[in-house]
Amino acid sequence: MRTVTIAGGNLFRVAAEELGDATQWVRIAALNGLKDPMLEGVVTLRLPPRDAKAGGGVIAR
């Protein structure tokens, strides 16, 4: 599993750059136990594998 360390920002950008689809931010959030796509400070995130068929959207509650 890959990881990325970023300083601030948001999961939309991370998903777009790392997974090729900003709507897949929910996959990153779920894997890292996050609910808010906005990030503060320096954060190391685990990344799911790239999957063009994976859905995006909102987190089911």
Mean pLDDT over residues 27-39, rounded?
97
3-state SS assignment for residue 3: strand
Record the pTM.
0.86
- For residue 36 the two structure tokens come to 């808010």
Decide which of 61 and 8 is more confident.
8
**Phi then psi dihedrals of residue 39, to 5 deg:** -110, 145
Query: Which pLDDT does position 56 carry in this prediction?
Result: 67
For 41: left if phi > 0, alpha if psi spans -120 to 50, otherwise beta; the answer is: left
